[in-house]
Amino acid sequence: MDPYELSWSSLVYSDGTMYQGLALGGQPHGKGAILYSRGHRYEGDFVEGLQEGYGVYRWTDGSTYKGRWQDGVMQGCGRKSYADGNMEEGEFIRDVYVGQYMACGPREVQVAVAEADVSADESQKLLLRPLDSQKNAAQQALAKGKPGSASTDPNRVMAKIGSISSTSGLALIVDFAVARVSQSMHLHIRLEDES
């Protein structure tokens, strides 16, 4: 596959951050979801590895930002809701709330929040299963140091993350492999005869 062809990808970074979604040249590009190693998550649009467009960012304390992103920062109209119930609606410049202006009034904020929700929903549809449960499964498999049934290579861990059976007696098996050295994740899909 051409590395500069837009395709679905699942990436694991050296700090434990995980990404699933569309990628171009090994970087998030298009719709996707990222779970950072600290537990924060972002679902939405990416361009060349950075948040760009609309998306939803959730902090572990329960705070949420929904709105416009540019070059990996909150930039433009949006709404930041804090865990304590406080809220900031209006314009953000380089992650800093600057207030409501004519170009970013209540109506524009409402549109930006709706766009962010749509983008996040579309990004979630690209997930094989929730990133946090996938991350836990991968970490447990690595901690045990045991390769799965399909792998005899001690530098790789295979884990089945799903299967779909059909009435024809065939099953679609989806596995992922985490390479210990590079922490990269590869998706393997195969069709097996269940009989």
3-state SS record for 96-129: EEEECECCECHHHHHHHHHHHHHHHHHHHCCCCC
SS3 category, 141: helix
Residue 135's pLDDT is 53
Residue 6's pLDDT is 86
Domain locations in the chain?
7-124, 131-193
The third-level CATH classification (topology) of the domain covering 7-124 is 2.20.110
> Which residues have a Cβ under 8 Å from the Cβ of 71 and sit 6 or more positions away?
50, 52
The answer to whether the CB of 56 falls within 8 A of the CB of 65 is yes
Residue pLDDT tens, the chain, 195 long: 566 688 888 899 999 999 999 999 889 999 999 999 999 999 999 999 999 999 999 999 999 999 999 999 999 999 999 999 999 999 999 999 999 887 899 999 999 999 999 999 999 988 875 555 555 555 554 455 543 333 333 333 333 333 333 344 443 334 444 333 334 444 444 444 444
Supply the pTM of this predicted model.
0.68
Residue 102's pLDDT is 79
